[in-house]
Structure 1
Amino acid sequence: GTDIIAVVVNKYRDITFGRMILYCDIIIILSCYFIFHDWKRVVFGFVTMGISSYVLDWVVNSTRQSVQFLIFSKEYAKIADHIVSDAHRGVTVLDGTGWYSKQGMKVLVVLARKSQSISIFRLVKEIDPNAFISQSSVIGVYGQGFDRLKVK
């Protein structure tokens, strides 16, 4: 039953599903002390709920994890075209300058789901095996193709 409360609160507030379940379970566990008068059960309940809330958040949010790619390649146009057509992701092209070489280059910026990382790496490697790629985790990506922006 606490999951229904968590879903409703998560929809309207910026509190994760797992954290809201944790808050509800804390209230339930603390109220159990008044029935059993046993602190061991309360502590065991807290440990169990803490672990399950962490795991639940990890499972629910793992599908929403996003990554950012910075791709440096002379074949930037071909790579960008294939990312848009094959991976169905947007690409931003930036002008960059290598400080060591003092050479101008184009830098591709791609935001994608973590589950698409391997296919993007393969796509880039097929086109330009010498491309330089930086991948970093992104905490939140909001907009078309990602999460809806919640303003509360």
Structure 2
Amino acid sequence: MEKTYRGKERLIDLIFEFSGIFIMSVGVHCFLVPANIAPGGLSGLGILVRYLWGMPIGLSTFLMNVPIFILSWRYLGRKYTLQSFGAVLLNSVILDYVVTPWLPMYMGERLLGSVFGGIFVGAGLGLIFLRGFSTGGTDAISFLLQVKFPHIPIGRTLMLVDGLVLAFSVLVFRNIEAGLFGVIALFFQTKVIDSIVYGSEHGQMFLIFSDKNKEITERIFTDIDRGATILKGVGAYTMKEREVLLCAARKSEFGQIKRIVREIDPDAFFIVSEVSQILGEGFKPVSGDSL
């Protein structure tokens, strides 16, 4: 039974990886290449190499990953390196031998090219990240930089690498609009990745400090049908014990919770923070067939 489950999971992994790489390749070849847009990453460098010397994007991307594979094997481990190697190799084959020879390029407005290029690349990467895979490239570069400079956040190193590629694209294409359209493509790419990976699991967490937490909790139960948790806390200044109400909810429920707190205790202290995922009862289940 366990082997059957693992086989099913592996098959799903392969389907998502293949589909994600294919969709990402469509975005690169059909929209970004004809618009002369290189929105960061090694695929962006591959677009620049193709523009300068005519080398296939998949091949150039693979060659650029070779030194990264070597460093990754030493510092990030065998499993990560082999998985990244397989994804990069599959990406090179699909892009150069499946998508490029058979699918036409969009030769219309560059703005539409940047938008749809970002959407397709983001959708492809989102499917890949959804199953916990990596495509190597800038992801691996960021992890390697973390080994040397652990105090620098990964997100910041990704922005640095993508920013350098965008700046380089302006010099190569000799057109400042190439960088501006690249920013647009990168924006849509990021938004689509977040929507696929997190989807409706995005939400908000509320911390409510009030002397009327019991009344607030009852109203949240009845009006919104949401659960809540009462935590024990100690005020740092007064050193007195007090209760803290914790509640997780969808963004659409923010206004209702805020109104409830304001009506019951206008003097309550109210903290709202964004959360990327909320899993469990009332939201997406943790277990089961969910991705």
The aligned residue for residue 270 of structure 2 is: 133
More divergent stretch after superposition (45-54 vs 63-72)? 45-54
Structure 1 position 51 matched with structure 2 position 119: yes
Structure 1 position 78 matched with structure 2 position 215: yes
Q: Write the distance in 1 (CA, Å) between the matches of 2:103 and 2:22.
A: 19
Structure with more strand by fraction: 1
More divergent stretch after superposition (61-70 vs 88-97)? 61-70
Q: List runs of 5+ in structure 1 lacking aligned partners.
A: 1-8
Q: Write the distance in 2 (CA, Å) between the matches of 1:116 and 1:123.
A: 11
Q: Write the distance in 1 (CA, Å) between the matches of 2:280 and 2:202.
A: 14
Measured at CA, do residues 37 and 90 of structure 1 come closer, stay the same or move farther in structure 2, by a change above 3 Å? Answer: closer
CA offset digits 1:73-103 (Å, max 9, x no partner): 0011111111111111111111111101222
Tell me by how many angstroms 1:144 deviates: 1.0
From 227, 231, 253, the counterpart of 1:90: 227
What is the aligned length? 136
Seq. identity, % = 29
Q: Write the distance in 1 (CA, Å) between the matches of 2:234 and 2:24.
A: 54
Structure with more helix by fraction: 2
One-letter amino acid of the structure 2 residue matched with residue 24 of structure 1:
F
Structure 1 position 25 matched with structure 2 position 162: no
Of structures 1 and 2, the larger Rg is shown by 2
Residue aligned with 1:102, SS: coil
Task: Give the conservation status (yes or no) of the 8 Å contact 2:229–2:246.
Answer: yes
Q: Write the distance in 2 (CA, Å) between the matches of 1:37 and 1:21.
A: 19
Of structures 1 and 2, the one scoring higher in RCO (CA 8 A, sep 6+) is 1
One-letter amino acid of the structure 2 residue matched with residue 115 of structure 1:
S
Structure 1 position 112 matched with structure 2 position 179: no
Root-mean-square deviation over aligned CA pairs? 3.6
Instruction: State TM-score, norm by structure 1.
Output: 0.70
Task: Give the conservation status (yes or no) of the 8 Å contact 1:66–1:139.
Answer: yes
Q: Write the distance in 1 (CA, Å) between the matches of 2:211 and 2:222.
A: 19
Measured at CA, do residues 37 and 88 of structure 1 come closer, stay the same or move farther in structure 2, by a change above 3 Å? Answer: closer
From 99, 103, 114, the counterpart of 2:236: 99
Measured at CA, do residues 115 and 62 of structure 1 come closer, stay the same or move farther in structure 2, by a change above 3 Å? Answer: farther
Q: Write the distance in 1 (CA, Å) between the matches of 2:100 and 2:224.
A: 54
Instruction: State TM-score, norm by structure 2.
Output: 0.39
Q: List runs of 5+ in structure 2 lacking aligned partners.
A: 1-8, 30-94, 123-188
Task: Give the conservation status (yes or no) of the 8 Å contact 1:25–1:49.
Answer: no
